[in-house]
């Protein structure tokens, strides 16, 4: 089984995680730029963070045979901090870099005017660089935030297929798929969305334009949730090609629009079979 995690924050994970991910079949990841928890007080903090995403983290991943790419953006939460606004002037030059396969995470946190401005301005940059866009939908007031994000995408003139709206659930998936955009789902250990609900969504909506990720970060999260979702799909009667479609081909197709995916030998069909099943023997949903 080959897995591409299209949204995971490896900066906040250990080498044990890389080891377990590689053993579980994770061969490629995209790490979007996000809010680090501790508010940043200057633009320099962003420069160092972005440099780590294009330099240090791919190097760290390479040691475990995982292909690492990233998405760059000013995240919605810090778009509200006047000390961080200047970051918008830096995004352009990062979007030109080889390992940057998308713009993200952009979107809404609290749906404020500064968030509106940062969102629209960054969509223009994505259009100029012809890059896919990863849109974070807010955890509070998700339904309204998702519909409003779809409006902003529509107004931007970007082709809808170049955009994924992420952190979706049963209530937000339909309008996103109907718009022509991609639907992203973050699978968490105990909140928001789990693999059982994910399988039900796949049954109802099919496997096209669906991305499944672990979104693992510093919060309670599990970098093997992609693998666990694959197992749940198989247990529910989906076959190997459905699993490969959702957990490999879909992310390759979506981020492949950048023209920058570097998958190397990871592109070859699975030669190495999964040998780390012991790492998956936890309780479901732990
Ligand atoms: Zn994220």
Q: How far is ligand 1, taken at its centre, from the CA of residue 82, in Å?
A: 22
Q: How far is ligand 1, taken at its centre, from the CA of residue 1, in Å?
A: 24
Q: How far is ligand 1, taken at its centre, from the CA of residue 31, in Å?
A: 8
Give the pLDDT band of residue 190 (cuts 50, 70, 90). Answer: confident
Query: How many whole angstroms separate alpha carbon 9 and alpha carbon 24?
Result: 17
Q: How far is ligand 1, taken at its centre, from the CA of residue 216, in Å?
A: 8
> Which CA distances in Å does 21 have to 81, 192, 234, 279, 283?
35, 22, 19, 9, 17
Cβ proximity of 119 and 108 under 8 Å? yes
| Residue pLDDT, tens place only, 247-270 | 999 999 999 999 999 998 655 544
Average pLDDT in the 175-199 region?
A: 94
**Percent of the chain with pLDDT strictly greater than 90:** 88
Strands (E), the chain: 3-5, 26-32, 67-72, 100-107, 133-136, 163-166, 182-186, 210-213
What was the pLDDT predicted at 265?
64
Q: How far is ligand 1, taken at its centre, from the CA of residue 104, in Å?
A: 9
Q: Which residue is associated with the tokens 């709206």?
A: 165
| Residue pLDDT, tens place only, 123-141 | 999 999 999 999 999 988 9
Query: How many whole angstroms separate alpha carbon 128 and alpha carbon 174?
Result: 29
Q: How far is ligand 1, taken at its centre, from the CA of residue 284, in Å?
A: 22
Q: How far is ligand 1, taken at its centre, from the CA of residue 78, in Å?
A: 14
Q: Is the pLDDT of residue 282 over 80?
A: no
Alpha helix (H) residue ranges in 63-193: 88-95, 113-129, 142-156, 173-179
Q: Is the pLDDT of residue 214 over 50?
A: yes
Q: Is the pLDDT of residue 246 over 80?
A: yes
Q: How far is ligand 1, taken at its centre, from the CA of residue 135, in Å?
A: 10
Q: Is the pLDDT of residue 38 over 60?
A: yes
> Which CA distances in Å does 224 have to 18, 172, 275?
10, 24, 14
> Which CA distances in Å does 221 have to 89, 187, 265, 270, 285?
32, 8, 29, 27, 10
Cβ proximity of 158 and 120 under 8 Å? no
Question: Can the peptide bond before residue 19 be classed as cis, meaning omega within 30 degrees of 0?
Answer: no
What was the pLDDT predicted at 266?
58
Q: How far is ligand 1, taken at its centre, from the CA of residue 9, in Å?
A: 7
Q: How far is ligand 1, taken at its centre, from the CA of residue 243, in Å?
A: 23
- Where residue 209 falls (left for φ over 0; alpha for ψ -120 to 50; beta otherwise) is left
Q: How far is ligand 1, taken at its centre, from the CA of residue 116, in Å?
A: 19
Q: How far is ligand 1, taken at its centre, from the CA of residue 212, in Å?
A: 12
Name 186's bridge partners. Answer: 213
What was the pLDDT predicted at 283?
33
What was the pLDDT predicted at 250?
98
> Which CA distances in Å does 96 have to 32, 72, 224?
15, 10, 31
Q: How far is ligand 1, taken at its centre, from the CA of residue 271, in Å?
A: 31
Average pLDDT in the 173-200 region?
A: 94
Give the pLDDT band of residue 275 (cuts 50, 70, 90). Answer: very low
What was the pLDDT predicted at 277?
36
For the whole model, what pTM was predicted? Answer: 0.91
**Percent of the chain with pLDDT strictly greater than 70:** 92
Q: How far is ligand 1, taken at its centre, from the CA of residue 28, in Å?
A: 16
Q: How far is ligand 1, taken at its centre, from the CA of residue 134, in Å?
A: 9
Q: How far is ligand 1, taken at its centre, from the CA of residue 200, in Å?
A: 23
Q: 223: closest CA among 1, 5, 2?
A: 5
Q: What's the chain's average pLDDT?
A: 92
Q: How far is ligand 1, taken at its centre, from the CA of residue 136, in Å?
A: 7
């Amino acid at each position: 089984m080959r897995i591409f995690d299209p949204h995971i924050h490896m900066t906040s994970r250990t080498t044990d995680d890389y080891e377990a991910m590689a053993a579980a079949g994770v061969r490629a990841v995209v790490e979007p730029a996000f809010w680090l928890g501790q508010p940043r007080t200057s633009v320099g903090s962003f420069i160092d963070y972005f440099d780590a995403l294009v330099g240090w983290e791919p190097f760290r991943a390479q040691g475990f045979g995982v292909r690492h790419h990233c998405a760059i953006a000013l995240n919605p939460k810090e778009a509200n901090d006047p000390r961080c606004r200047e970051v918008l002037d830096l995004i352009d030059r990062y979007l030109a870099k080889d390992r940057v396969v998308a713009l993200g995470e952009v979107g809404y946190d609290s749906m404020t005017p500064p968030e509106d401005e940062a969102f629209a301005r960054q969509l223009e940059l994505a259009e100029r660089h012809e890059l896919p866009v990863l849109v974070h939908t807010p955890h509070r007031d998700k339904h309204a935030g998702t519909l409003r994000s779809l409006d902003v995408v529509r107004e931007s003139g970007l082709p809808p297929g170049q955009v994924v709206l992420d952190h979706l659930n049963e209530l937000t998936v339909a309008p996103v798929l109907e718009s022509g955009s991609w639907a992203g789902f973050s699978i968490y250990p105990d909140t928001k969305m789990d693999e059982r609900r994910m399988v039900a969504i796949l049954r109802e909506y099919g496997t096209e334009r669906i991305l499944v990720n672990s979104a693992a970060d510093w919060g309670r999260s599990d970098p093997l949730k992609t693998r666990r979702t694959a197992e749940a799909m198989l247990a529910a009667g989906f076959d190997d090609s459905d699993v490969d479609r959702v957990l490999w081909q879909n992310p390759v197709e979506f981020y492949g629009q950048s023209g920058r995916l570097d998958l190397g030998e990871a592109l070859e069909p699975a030669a190495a079979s999964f040998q780390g099943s012991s790492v998956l023997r936890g309780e479901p949903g732990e």
